[in-house]
Structure 1
């Protein structure tokens, strides 16, 4: 299927509040709130939808990563769903071949970059993350609205042209076995997790052979991505690698690092979708607590 020409062209994978504010209401623009806040039991999509209904960017729709945009049959949370199922869920949000998509969230850009990375995986490229997300929008004094919003128009096609963006546990096991020399395996979690002080699925430490580039280290105090030269400095540990595989706790914050690598021009990057949630489910899989 041929992608129709978009009515609005996204200038890059990262846009600012001013760009979006002047284009709200443009035909074909789809704005998605991807926030999954943390409730007492962990990530809570229902709470995210409730907060979105209380206040959101005008015209936006809530993209439920925890439910409609994940594979409920997978043994780990937030799993990338079959491409055709994902496309149908995105169509229900108004995403179609001629659309321009802007995604935002209220926490470290990681939910927004997750959806951006999922769009990339099905070949949809006319999409961007709102730098600084909801906090930047509110801080700039831009308008907000409340309520359930409007339903997306039905019947507009969304093509699927898969682009390798995710990898699986077999790839990571090959890294650990020393079978992928020259390639980088990167943990995007904070150093406290990498060192084993904090745990994922009851186990502390990192996958042997991996290095640590925390997702939060690529953002400034306001939650915006660092300038490209600063990103290159922070991402320098993978400069000599032939390719990069990223993981975190559940395949979410790893997409921040993947997205940032793209901001510096590097595209030979994949995210291990199951990440430590899947890896740690089997206690026989090794972990390390030192570099």
Structure 2
């Protein structure tokens, strides 16, 4: 676990910049710009137009996931990269062993949370998300830098497996013994609309808790508010019901915004596993049942993916 909290505010990041991008104990800090949105082009142009000084641009589609040209629909839209691929990217970003990392975006920290989760999964202990993203940095009157940033190559050595992960079968079984959170918008969970995947609906037994409910004005809600939200959908709050023994997992469309839910769980003092394949894998896998409506549906009553609707 990181010794520092997962979030950093603009004032603390500005103080870090004033120290020459070092923490109070002298650790080098690397800043990563992870601007990305579903269905939009990458954020490279926005990065060049203005970013936190020294921030290196990270392409979520090709560096925080397996590129689309290298996998099929049954893998989901954003499969996890290999350790070797992520390590090559991290070295391009200038990361060295022992560095602290700050990640940000301009979309309620949804993409930044994917970077946070993946770097933690890869053994980087000190990773923090800029709460409020680039908007908070600008609102604090801090300067922007323009153009591309190309740091000297790093030498970081990544490991793997430091965050809990769910396979498709584990996600299917989780509602029987724990809580599986669907982080997508409610209308996608209910099956009313589905903008990108083959069919709308949700994994049988999953409960709806849209990721957007974790933030207010672009910043994360307080730990107390987050605990209340999770408790409202059946997540036991540590120390109350089963002392954290009930497993909790999260999925979304492709494993990006569900990382935000895992981060919110950590802020609430809870622990959650990520299902990286998420709905894009589930809905592209023949025979997987699909539930619709507002209430969790047992798998025995759900329709298989691809059934006439």
TM-score by length of 2: 0.83
Cα pair 1:31 1:103 within 8 Å, conserved: yes
Unpaired runs of 5+ residues, structure 1, are 1-8
Bigger mean CA deviation after superposition, 86-95 or 51-60: 86-95
Could you tell me which residue of structure 2 aligns to residue 189 of structure 1?
Answer: 184
Describe the shift of the 1:120–1:158 C-alpha distance in structure 2 as closer, same or farther (beyond 3 A): same
Residue 289, structure 1, aligned to residue 295, structure 2: no
After superposition, residues 37-48 of structure 1 pair within 5 angstroms as: 37-38=37-38, 42-45=39-42, 48=43
**Deviation sequence 1:240-272 (CA, Å, 0-9, x none):** 5611111001111111110010012212x2111
**Deviation sequence 1:81-108 (CA, Å, 0-9, x none):** 1112211211110222121100000112
Q: Which 4+ runs in 1 deviate beyond 3 A?
A: none
Could you tell me which residue of structure 2 aligns to residue 74 of structure 1?
Answer: 71
Residue 258, structure 1, aligned to residue 277, structure 2: no
Residue 278, structure 1, aligned to residue 274, structure 2: no
Could you tell me which residue of structure 2 aligns to residue 65 of structure 1?
Answer: 60
- Compute the RMSD of aligned alpha carbons: 1.8
Could you tell me which residue of structure 1 aligns to residue 47 of structure 2?
Answer: 52
C-alpha separation between the residues in 1 aligned to 2:223 and 2:142? Answer: 26
User: How far apart are residue 225 of structure 1 and its match?
Assistant: 0.3
C-alpha separation between the residues in 1 aligned to 2:21 and 2:129? Answer: 17
Residue 238, structure 1, aligned to residue 235, structure 2: yes
C-alpha separation between the residues in 1 aligned to 2:274 and 2:153? Answer: 31
**Deviation sequence 1:211-239 (CA, Å, 0-9, x none):** 0111100100x210001111110111211
Could you tell me which residue of structure 1 aligns to residue 84 of structure 2?
Answer: 84
Unpaired runs of 5+ residues, structure 2, are 23-27, 296-309
User: How far apart are residue 172 of structure 1 and its match?
Assistant: 2.0
Cα pair 1:10 1:127 within 8 Å, conserved: no
User: How far apart are residue 10 of structure 1 and its match?
Assistant: 6.9
Could you tell me which residue of structure 1 aligns to residue 21 of structure 2?
Answer: 26
Could you tell me which residue of structure 2 aligns to residue 216 of structure 1?
Answer: 212
C-alpha separation between the residues in 2 aligned to 1:155 and 1:231? Answer: 36
Cα pair 2:64 2:118 within 8 Å, conserved: no
Could you tell me which residue of structure 1 aligns to residue 298 of structure 2?
Answer: none
